[in-house]
Amino acid sequence: MKVVLFDPLSGGHHTEYAIYLARYLIACGDQVSFVTWSEDRMAKATYLDREPSLDVVYVGGKRPFGGGTARRSVHFYSGFRRCLEFARRAKADVVHHLYLDTGELPTFAATLSRNHPFQIFGTLFWLHFVVPDEGRVSLQRRSYYRARRWAIGRQLGSGRLARLFVHSDATKDALARIYGEPLVKASVSVVPDPAPEPPAISAAQARKELDLPPGIPLMLFFGGLRHNKGPDLFVEALSSVSGEWIAMIAGEPQDLGVEDITKIGGPLIERGKLITRFGSVWGEEVDKYFAAADLVVLPYRRTFLGTSNVLMRAAAATTPVIATDVGRVGATVRNHQLGTVVEPESPQVLADAINGFLADRDRITREVRPHAEQYAAENSWRVLGHEVRESYVSELEEES
Secondary structure of the chain as H, E, C letters: CEEEEECCCCCCHHHHHHHHHHHHHHHCCCEEEEEECCCCHHHHHHCHHHCCCCEEEECCCCCCCCCCHHHHHHHHHHHHHHHHHHHHHCCCCEEEECCCCCCHHHHHHHCCCCCCCCEEEEECCCCCCCCCCHHHCCHHHHHHHHHHHHHHHHHHHHCCCCEEEECCHHHHHHHHHHHCHHHHHHHEEECCCCECCCCCCCHHHHHHHCCCCCCCCEEEEECCECHHHCHHHHHHHHCCCCCCCEEEEEECECCCCHHHHHHHHHHHHHCCCEEEEECCCCCHHHHHHHHHCCEEEECCCCCCCCCCHHHHHHHHCCCCEEEECCCCHHHHHHHHCCEEEECCCCHHHHHHHHHHHHHCHHHHHHHHHHHHHHHHHHCEHHHHHHHHHHHHHHHHHHHC
| pLDDT of 238 higher than 80 | yes
pLDDT tens digits, 319-329: 999 999 998 89
Percent of the chain beyond pLDDT 70?
98
Mean pLDDT confidence for 76-88: 96
Whole-number pLDDT of residue 132:
62
Span 365-381, pLDDT tens digits: 999 999 999 999 999 99
pLDDT over 90 (residue 142): no
Given a cut of 90, whether residue 172 has pLDDT beyond it is: yes
> What pLDDT is attached to residue 356?
98
Averaged pLDDT for residues 9-22: 90
Whole-number pLDDT of residue 140: 85
Residue 14 has pLDDT above 70, yes or no: yes
The whole-number average pLDDT for the span 72-92 is 96
Map out the domains of the chain as residue ranges. 2-194+380-399, 203-378
> What average pLDDT does the segment 114-126 reach?
92
Q: Which of 135-139, 314-318, 353-357 has the lowest mean pLDDT?
A: 135-139
Q: Look at residue 365 in the predicted model and tell me its pLDDT.
A: 98
Q: 2-194+380-399 and 203-378: same fold?
A: yes
Mean model confidence pLDDT for the chain:
93
Q: Is the pLDDT of residue 94 over 70?
A: yes
Residue 395 is predicted with a pLDDT of 95
CATH architecture of 2-194+380-399: 3-Layer(aba) Sandwich (3.40)
Return the higher-pLDDT residue of 41 and 277: 277
pTM for the predicted model, two decimal places: 0.92
pLDDT at 241: 97
Q: Band the pLDDT of 133: cuts 50, 70, 90.
A: low
Mean pLDDT of 277-297: 94
167 has pLDDT over 80: yes
Interval 285-292 mean pLDDT: 96
- Is the pLDDT score of 139 beyond 90? no
Q: Which CATH architecture has domain 203-378?
A: 3-Layer(aba) Sandwich (3.40)
Is 80 exceeded by the pLDDT of residue 200? Answer: yes
User: Residue 234 pLDDT more than 70?
Assistant: yes
